[in-house]
Amino acid sequence: MTFGEKLAKARKENNMTQEQLADVLGVSRQSISKWESDIAYPETDKLIRMSELFGCSLDYLLKDDVTQKPNIQRTTYRHDASFSTFSFTITKTREYEYKSKSTLFGLPLVHINIGKGKTAKGIIAIGFKSVGVLSIGLLASGLFSIGLLALGLFGIGVLGIGFFGFGAFALGMLSGGAVSVGLISFGAISIGIMSCGAISVGQFAVGALAHGHYFAFGDSATAMVALGATQAEGTLYTHFTGLQNSFSGFDAQTVISILENNVPSALKLFMKIALSIVGIR
């Protein structure tokens, strides 16, 4: 059997059309037709992909005298192409790529590229490395990114970096995580202009242990205005009750007046957010 005959046979055994196989390999349907007619031959990387796809050796595909396809154990996956499905296999290399024909701004609507050193780039990008409007991967960057390391307007990951950053370690204008750093941050350990967390450090700090420049509210508080349940140290106003989780009895109007007179205009918004969080109006 020739290479073209073997290719056509393997494709049909896997219930794939020429169009579907072309989508998986990233070539035109005409290329598949020429290969199956033995008019042309694929490049080496395409041969390797086909051997992985059909669970056969390169010897079987290329040598006419090898007619028995080796019985290779395969893992079957499902793939959607043009609203019809077909089965394909991935060998131990665990490499797979799909790129939609539809594009927007020169990028495919969907690009899935899984493999060592591979990068997925598309409106929706999925891969170990991914770049897209919606990006999912170990290293992901995009408008919305999700990954081990996520960088984007919205970054969600073990390390999330973005205008909105969320993760075990988060960095952003608005950040939330176990360790969080941002203009407005929420986390177990929180650092920011306005910070809220178990351990909170910032210009305005709210937390069990709160250390702020202008305002601190928590079990233990240190700032210009310090409101603490069991411990408080303020340079202009100090209030503590000596009772855990009790913050009653402070003069809210005095607190607001001191802050209004001492906080720069550029930080007034953060001040209002902090006061709102603790219920001071």
pLDDT in tens, 5-64: 888 988 898 888 999 998 888 899 999 999 999 898 898 888 888 888 888 888 888 888
Q: What is the pLDDT of residues 68-116, one digit of tens each?
A: 765 554 434 444 443 333 444 444 445 788 888 888 888 899 999 887 7
pLDDT tens digits, 167-206? 899 988 999 989 999 999 999 999 999 999 999 999 999 9
What pLDDT was estimated at residue 249? 74
Same domain, 122 and 199: no
**Same-domain status, 24 and 64:** yes
Locate the DSSP E strands across 33-128.
76-81, 84-89, 96-99, 103-104, 107-108, 110-114, 119-127
- The CATH number given to whatever domain includes residue 87 is 1.10.260.40
**Which pLDDT score, from 0 to 100, does residue 240 have?**
83
Does 162 reside within a domain? no
Does residue 52 lie within any of the structural domains? Answer: yes
Domain that holds residue 26: 3-94
Look-up of token digits 């073990």: 158
